[in-house]
Amino acid sequence: MSEVGSRSAGRREPSRTGSVPTLLVLDAEPPPRLGRLTGRARIVRTDAAHLAERLPGADALLVWDFTSTAVREAWPGAGPRPRWVHTASAGVDHLLCPELAASGTVVTNARGIFDQPIAEYVAALVLAVAKDLPRTLEQQRERVWRHRESRRVAGTRACVVGSGPIGRAIVRLLKALGVTTALVGRVPRTGVYGPADLDRLVSRADWVIAAAPLTEATYRMFGAHVFGVMQPSAFFVNVGRGDLVDEDALARALTRRWIAGAALDVFAAEPLPPDSPLWDLPGLVVSPHMSGDTVGWRDELGRQFVELYERWAAGRPLVNVVDKKRGYVPGH
């Protein structure tokens, strides 16, 4: 996990109550297990409707409901603000607003929890598509015996966009399957290509995988141009953020057979409405934002936050500190 170099980012000032710090929790079901903080924090739980009125009295904020945009909406109000905000998610676009970005508040995220599970999910999709498992299951239900050939995964090419921990974990697992991988990040460096290389890499890839954070630079970066550059036999996967993709452009690409297929685990609007045309697109696999959620994931998130709280309370530098201008935790 990335650690900030300055102690000021992890130093806890005296609490506003004069005793133990007040920890405000934007709750969701099931709530986090914070028993280890008994006597060490005054825990106040809130829903989105009451967040704005309770922010001024909080020393720290845990955004447990990481699907909510309530922080972004409530933060610009009057009064003091928490000195530290932690979100139980890898993405921070749901809470960052200009006022929070410009403030002295430290923001941390759940970097490190979802890397391997999401990589496994991507690898499972690649294998399932190459081995035509959906059709196998369909024909089993229909009691149809139809022999066919499947595709060899080893020797294919993947372009992974997003050079953070999730993207690097995807690369490691695909390499283990014999896939030739290219990793694309915000800036080129050793082992990472830059945005200028994207078209060339996408045009050669069998698998194009979106795992980037959502920023102004990445908003709908996967649109008509990228889908037009991809090979007709290529498959697209998004496990990053929904708004990385122009969903209308993807719908056209699939309908017109510009690409062979796609899998979306994240969407611009979640949950995906029952009347969304995405459900019926040819060649599209829809999953309900579950690629990183394995058995026990909420407990892992809770333990991670408690460890961060202990560092903060002791005045030690925090890890997983988000660069609020960039919208993610800087890394390698």
* Cα 239-243-249 angle, rounded to 5 deg: 95
Give the active site residue among 99, 270, 307, 310: 270
Task: Given the residues 45, 289, 303, 316, select the one marked as catalytic.
Answer: 289
Kindly state the tokens that stand for 213.
């954070």
CA 90 to chain centre: 5
DSSP of 86-111: EESSS--TTT--HHHHHSS-EEE--T
Q: How high is the pLDDT of residue 13?
A: 61
Q: Is the peptide bond before 271 cis (omega within 30 degrees of 0)?
A: yes
* 297-325 average pLDDT score: 97
Taking residues 152-172, what's their average pLDDT? 98
Q: What is the tens place of the pLDDT at every residue in 226-260?
A: 999 999 999 999 999 999 999 999 999 999 999 99
pLDDT tens digits for range 254-290: 999 999 999 999 999 999 999 999 999 999 999 999 9
pLDDT digits (tens, 9 = 90+) for 7-41: 345 555 656 655 899 999 999 999 999 999 999 99
CA distance 164 to 229: 24
Instruction: Enter the tokens of residue 41.
Output: 């924090």
Across 151-168, average pLDDT: 98
**Which amino acid is located at 328 in the chain?**
Y
Asked if residues 292 and 114 have their Cβ atoms less than 8 Å apart, the reply is yes
Q: What's the confidence (pLDDT) of residue 29?
A: 94
The pLDDT assigned to 18 comes to 59
Confidence of residue 310 (pLDDT cuts 50, 70, 90): very high
Q: What is the pLDDT of residue 331?
A: 77
Residue from 329, 309, 320, 327 nearest 20 by CA = 309
Catalytic site residue 241?
A: yes
Our answer to whether residue 142 is catalytic in this structure is: no
pLDDT digits (tens, 9 = 90+) for 201-212: 999 999 999 999
Residue 58's pLDDT is 98
Q: What is the pLDDT of residues 71-125, one digit of tens each?
A: 999 999 999 999 999 999 999 999 999 999 999 999 999 999 999 999 999 999 9
Summarised one tens digit per residue, pLDDT across range 116-157 is 999 999 999 999 999 999 999 999 999 999 999 999 999 999
In this predicted structure, what is the pLDDT of residue 57?
Answer: 97
Alpha helix stretches (DSSP H) within 146-223: 165-176, 198-204
From the centroid of its chain, how far is CA 38? 30
- Position 15 scores a pLDDT of 65
Give strand ranges (E) for 200-322: 207-210, 235-238, 261-264, 284-286
Using alpha carbons only, how large is the chain's radius of gyration in Å?
Answer: 22
Q: What is the pLDDT of residue 1?
A: 47
| Reported pTM | 0.92
Q: What is the pLDDT of residue 19?
A: 82
